[in-house]
Amino acid sequence: MKNIIKKLTLPGAFLLLGTVGCTKLEEGLNSTTTQDKAAAFLGATADLNVLIQSCYDGLQGYQTQDLATSLMENSSDESLVPTRGGDWDDNGVWRQIHTQTWAPDHGEVLGAWNSLLSNVYKCNQVIENGGTTAQVAEARFLRALSYWHLMDMFGNIPQYPNSEPNILYYYAVDAQYNLLSGTERRIDSVFYNPFIVPANYAMNFVIVVEDDSTAVDQLSYNKLKLSYDPDNFSSSAPGYQEIQAFVFTYPGNGNKYFMANVNTGSFSSGQVVYFRFYTNDGDHVGNTEYPYSSLPLPYKTFFSFYIQPGNCLCDCIAWIS
């Protein structure tokens, strides 16, 4: 391709630019389909016996001299590929593996990566498209085997589907773990309005998070950020505070949750305080936050509280009116 481009004359290049530069491409699709329809079609037409066989065929990558075998064996003292004159050297690719001097674009490294992830994909097709109980169990084992070798050779690799952490819910409780964020404590008793707390009051936020590939106690960052502005949680936001959450295990069911301690004395009385939770599963560059800025206001006010001045509920009534 490079040789062809080099032979292109300058007038010809200008001609091509003039031809395509002023043309608006209108792509016409003959038909469209949704992801659900595509999945239903695949599930109806897929031969599960062929799919599960392809999962086992992926094991052949372990019986050749290259791919995963090469990275595991030739990179150690277990084996090496000898050079006989000009034979078997292959421009030094095997020596690079044995001396561990390969580059990220080394063919054997890419080949092992693609081969193992291809096996993962094949196993997912069986799991997600109506395989029998036995077929799904076999596919899960074969997928785990590929993941094991991927992690052994490449470290912390993303796992399918590897979604961002799901921040499901929160509970605000007092020191005795009585619920503070229930509907009956919210202004106007509407679920999405701020719940009411006294001034100079200590409370705990329990945040429920789940992730498809990372255990709760392995999630990182894990911070509760608070602000007077529902859309600004930067360090310069009015009323900004940042609280490090910690993991605790609930003795009733053994599940792990996050907890953050908040004292309303750090904020102004008569103020609505908005909050968001941030976490990271180690597989995504950015932190996951909830609620996020593009959500409608009711979601943001659900994650907020109103600090009642004094002990008179008339202050709350005056605020909402």
With 0.75 as the threshold, say if the pTM is over it.
no
> SS3 for 312?
coil
Class of the CATH-defined domain 166-320:
mainly beta
> What are the pLDDT digits (tens) for 115-162?
999 999 899 888 878 788 899 899 989 999 999 999 888 887 766 667
How far is Cα 171 from Cα 58, in angstroms, rounded to an integer?
Answer: 47
Q: Give, in degrees to the nearest 5, the angle at Cα 154 between 149 and 159.
A: 70
- Nearest Cα neighbor of 208 from 160, 152, 176, 247 is 247
> SS3 for 65?
coil
How far is Cα 283 from Cα 158, in angstroms, rounded to an integer?
Answer: 6
Which residue stretches of the chain are H helix?
2-6, 10-20, 35-45, 48-57, 67-69, 93-98, 107-128, 133-154, 297-302, 314-320
- Nearest Cα neighbor of 71 from 100, 104, 114 is 100
> SS3 for 278?
strand
- In terms of average pLDDT, the best of 171-185, 201-215, 231-245 is 231-245
- Whether the CB-CB separation of 210 and 216 falls below 8 Å is answered with yes
pLDDT grade for 93, boundaries at 50, 70 and 90: confident
Instruction: Name the segment(s) of the chain with CATH classification 2.60.40.
Output: 166-320
How far is Cα 304 from Cα 191, in angstroms, rounded to an integer?
Answer: 11
Q: Quick one: which H or E segment has residue 248?
A: strand 246-249
Phi, psi of 261 (to 5 degrees): -95, 130
Tell me the two tokens of residue 91: 């421009």
- Nearest Cα neighbor of 264 from 186, 208, 205, 185 is 205
> What are the pLDDT digits (tens) for 248-271?
998 888 899 999 999 999 999 999
pLDDT grade for 302, boundaries at 50, 70 and 90: very high
Q: Where are the strands (E) in 68-165, listed by range?
A: none
- Start-to-end Cα distance in the chain: 71
pLDDT at 180 over 90: yes
Q: What is the DSSP-derived secondary structure letter of residue 13?
A: H
